[in-house]
Structure 1
Amino acid sequence: MSTFARRRIIQDLNKINKDQNKSFEASPFANNIMCCHAIIRGPEDTIWECGIFHLIINFSEEYPVSPPKVKFISKIFHPNVYADGNICLDILQNQWSPIYDITSLLTSIQSLLNDPNTSSPFLLGIFFFF
């Protein structure tokens, strides 16, 4: 079944492979193009510099109008990543736009590692709890 979402995912993945980005990569699962495995390498000059982090990206048929669900499957201690791997990132919530693609999504997540969002609801909840 070829849908707009599936064609867009293939286009996004082809762009990543064409660019041969060394910071991250993504590929679909063999039996489900709507679910991808992504790898992000820790940004240079950060405490995550030598890290290799695995994520799962789940798309709906509404992609790119609706954001995918993204989750770290590698354990990572970061103020914007919940213990279950979910990510508190504005473009995955209320700031998503169809102009974003998988490259911009992974770039944003990698940038978040280097520059945590201290006004995140997750962090505010921690500070309120203590």
Structure 2
Amino acid sequence: MAATKRVAKEYADLTKAPLPNVSVGLDGDDLMNWKGVITGPTGSTYQGGLFRVAIKFPKDYPFKPPKITFRTKIYHPNVDSDGAICLALLKTDIWKPATKISDVLIALAQLLAEPNPDDPLVASIAEQYNQDREKFVKTAKEWVAKYAQ
């Protein structure tokens, strides 16, 4: 199966050369289900937080994007209360088979450093991010302290 072979190669690559602020492992013994931790980037609102993610690869990967959800609660305009993520790279109509999971994980870490309020999943948080950044930062940091340790 091509998907399994591709996922195995990407997993081996990440094991040999880990990404900064990102760690991944298998969720159980299923190669198509991973768990990961993204460390809040230094200097960001999410600095020091440990954000757990679930990564599920579809049978037709890399022709369809992986499904990634946050398992750690996060106050972010691009992540909803169920952990769903709004990230252009993961949208089916934008996804390209050449994209690797490492590219996605780097983009997720970048999304923590720089939220995208112009393409929000949670409009109220995006509005607060744009209108009252100080209150947004305060709330996000409170959530990091409460849920991401």
Amino acid at match of 2:112: L
1:67 lines up with 2:103 in the alignment: no
Moved more, 77-86 or 15-24: 15-24
Report the count of equivalent residues. Answer: 124
The separation in 1 between residues aligned to 2:42 and 2:16, in whole angstroms, is 23
Amino acid at match of 1:59: F
Amino acid at match of 2:111: L
After TM superposition, where is structure 1 displaced by more than 4 Å over at least 4 residues in a row?
none
Amino acid at match of 2:49: G
Q: How far did 1:62 drift? A: 0.7
Counterparts in 2 of 1:121 and 1:79: CA distance versus 1, 3 Å: closer
| Residues 10-89 of structure 1 mapped to structure 2, 5 A cutoff | 10-89=8-87
Q: How far did 1:121 drift? A: 4.6
The separation in 1 between residues aligned to 2:101 and 2:20, in whole angstroms, is 15
Question: Considering only aligned residues, what root-mean-square deviation do their CA atoms show, in Å?
Answer: 1.4
Tell me the residue number matched to 2:111. 112
Moved more, 13-22 or 61-70: 13-22
Tell me the residue number matched to 1:100. 99
CA displacement 1:63-93 (0-9 Å, x = unmatched): 0110011000011111100110000011111
Unaligned runs of 5+ in 1: none
Q: How far did 1:17 drift? A: 1.0
Query: What is the TM-score of this pair, normalised by structure 1?
Result: 0.88
Tell me the residue number matched to 1:9. 7
Q: Percent identity?
A: 31
Unaligned runs of 5+ in 2: 128-149
The separation in 2 between residues aligned to 1:6 and 1:97, in whole angstroms, is 17
The one of the two structures with greater contact order (alpha-carbon pairs below 8 A, sep at least 6) is 2
The separation in 2 between residues aligned to 1:57 and 1:11, in whole angstroms, is 16
Amino acid at match of 2:12: N
Counterparts in 2 of 1:64 and 1:20: CA distance versus 1, 3 Å: same
Amino acid at match of 2:10: D
